[in-house]
Amino acid sequence: MPGVDIEISEVGPRDGLQSISPIMPTAAKMAWISALAAAGIPEIEVGSFVPASVLPQLADTAELVSHAKSISGLSVAVLVPNLRGAENALAVRPNKMTVPLSVSESHCLKNLKRTHEQLLAEVRGIRAAINGLPNKDRPKLEGSLSTAFGCTLEGAVPQSKVMEMAEKLLAAGCDEVGLSDTTGFASPTQVGQYTREIHRLLGKDKLTGIHLHNTRGQGLANVMAALDAGLTTIDSSMGGIGGCPFAPGASGNIVTEDLVFLLESMGLSTGVNFEAMFTARQVLAEALPNVELYGFTPEAGLPKGFSAATLQ
């Protein structure tokens, strides 16, 4: 996005809403997405193309893509678990599709019901489907390296395996890979090392984004390592909804509001307007009155005399 140092990729409508049981009405989701975009959030993952029987909370993803695509300048992202999901997604023309591959094969089998080879075959199918579209309609395809920093089933995941899967995802047709701390295991040391190694092996343009969880409170510390290693797109969730929340009072995903404050306080522009962002939070809070929203900055407010990098 021009004029922005770091891009926030808001995953709340997908990663957040899939983790809570109340189903947010489509009109409310649209209002929230519009409010997020109005705040200057450049990219929103609006949903996931999974069967409604699996995630009824996200059954309206196609409608949301169409709505979000009507918002000028917004990058509209979706998650697709397989070729069938991708085909449904392509019908409504998102700007970006993310396919997750768990680097831990046990996790891949358990969550995505596929071996690595089966999942890579899906990716090749998705690439072919994308290439069947006119150039202007082709979304960016990202392969997300889930459980890259460790797995609740397997424990430590070797760095070499992360590199191998990154290479295979690109070979199978992904434009980019993304690192994902699905389990909240990541340390800043790992984030820095893995990012630099992928950049060295595969090129800096092949990895620009990261998805971090805050399960053990390390989310923004890991962001520091990601910034230091040159990543420029950070996933986060408004109110910290979703992710892997364990602790009472603890978000699973890193909180968009606190992330924006971190970046802006460091002089890194996000394009986000604080007041409009807090308004979007209000829209979310009103739509989900029984869901706890996290985030310190919305409660504490901006420091007296605070000067943001983005013109407010």
For residue 60, what are its two tokens?
A: 């309206």
Stretch that binds a second copy, among 31-39, 120-128, 137-145, 300-308 (CB under 8 A): 300-308
DSSP per residue, the chain: -TT-SSEEEE-IIIIIGGGSSSPPPHHHHHHHHHHHHHTT--EEEEEE-S-TTT-GGGTTHHHHHHHHHTSTT-EEEEE-SSHHHHHHHHTT--SEEEEEEESSHHHHHHHHS--HHHHHHHHHHHHHHHHTS-GGGPPEEEEEEETTT-BTTTBS--HHHHHHHHHHHHHTT-SEEEEE-TTS---HHHHHHHHHHHHHHH-GGGEEEEE-B-TTS-HHHHHHHHHHTT--EEEEBGGG-SS---STT--SBPBHHHHHHHHHHTT------HHHHHHHHHHHHHH-TTS----SHHHH-PPTT---SS--
Nearer to a second copy, 62 or 224 (CB): 224
What's the gap between Cα 20 and its chain centre?
17
| x/- track of binding to a second copy for residues 135-174 (CB under 8 A) | ---------------xxxxxxx------------------
At closest approach, how far in Å is the CB of 239 from a second copy? 12
CB of 102 to a second copy, least distance (A): 15
151 is catalytic: no
20 binds a second copy (CB under 8 A): no
> Min. distance of Cβ 51 from a second copy in angstroms?
30
The least CB distance from residue 296 to a second copy, in Å, is 4
Contact between 262 and a second copy by CB under 8 A: the answer reads: yes
Among 36, 55, 207, 220, which residue interacts with a second copy (rule: CB under 8 A)? 220
Question: Could you tell me the two tokens for 219?
Answer: 């989310």
Tokens of 243: 């992710």
Binding segment toward a second copy, per CB under 8 A, in 22-30, 37-45, 257-265, 281-289: 257-265
Q: Establish if 185 lies at the interface with a second copy (CB under 8 A).
A: yes
Q: Does 312 contact a second copy by CB under 8 A?
A: no
* 298 scored as a contact of a second copy (CB under 8 A): yes
The correct pick among 117, 205, 275, 299 for binding a second copy (CB under 8 A) is 299
Q: Which of 265, 276, 285, 287 binds a second copy (CB under 8 A)?
A: 265
Q: Which stretch binds a second copy (CB under 8 A): 168-176, 201-209, 249-257, 282-290?
A: 249-257
- Is residue 249 at the binding interface for a second copy, with CB under 8 A as the rule? yes
Q: What positions carry a catalytic annotation? A: 244
Q: Which residues bind a second copy (CB under 8 A)?
A: 150-156, 183-185, 187-189, 214-218, 220-221, 223-225, 228, 246-250, 255, 258, 261-262, 265-267, 292, 294-301, 303-307
